[in-house]
Amino acid sequence: MFNSQRPSTNDLPSNGQLLRATGIAAVAAGAILVTVVLPSEYGIDPTGVGRVAGLTQMGEIKQQLALEAAADENGAVIPTTVEASAVAVSGQSDTAQSDASGTNSDVTTLTLAPGEGAEIKLVMAKDNAIDYDWSVSGGAVNYDTHADAPGISYHAYGKGKNSGGEKGKLVAAFDGSHGWFWRNRSGGAVTITLRTEGNYAEIKRVV
Same domain, 135 and 186: yes
The confidence score (pLDDT) of residue 58 equals 63
Same domain, 140 and 199: yes
Q: CB under 8 Å to 14, separation ≥6 — which residues?
A: none
Same domain, 63 and 134: no
Range of the domain at 28: 13-76
Is 6 contained in some domain?
no
Same domain, 70 and 90: no
The confidence score (pLDDT) of residue 100 equals 39
- The full DSSP string for 74-119 is HT--------TTS----SEEEEEEE-TT-EEEEEEEEEE-TT-EEE
Same domain, 56 and 107: no
Tens digit of pLDDT at every position of the chain (207 positions): 555 566 666 666 777 777 888 888 888 877 887 777 776 677 687 777 767 766 666 666 656 655 655 555 554 444 443 333 333 343 344 443 444 346 899 999 999 999 999 999 999 999 999 999 999 999 999 999 999 999 998 999 999 999 999 999 999 999 999 999 999 988 999 999 999 999 999 999 988
Same domain, 116 and 155: yes
Of the candidates 179, 181, 186, 193, the residue with the CA atom closest to the CA atom of residue 111:
193
Same domain, 68 and 85: no
Is 2 contained in some domain?
no
Same domain, 115 and 49: no
Q: How far apart are CA 169 and CA 20, in angstroms?
A: 63
Beta strand spans in the chain (E): 92-98, 103-112, 117-124, 129-137, 141-149, 152-163, 165-171, 176-183, 190-199, 202-205
The confidence score (pLDDT) of residue 194 equals 98
Same domain, 58 and 137: no
Is 7 contained in some domain?
no
**Do residues 177 and 84 touch, judged by C-beta distance below 8 A?**
yes
The confidence score (pLDDT) of residue 199 equals 96
Length of the chain counted residue by residue: 207
- How much is the CA Rg of the chain, to the nearest whole Å? 25
Is 172 contained in some domain?
yes
Beta 117-124 vs 152-163: how paired, if at all?
unpaired
The confidence score (pLDDT) of residue 192 equals 97
- CATH number of 116's domain: 2.60.120.380
Q: Which residues pair with 159 in a beta bridge?
A: 144
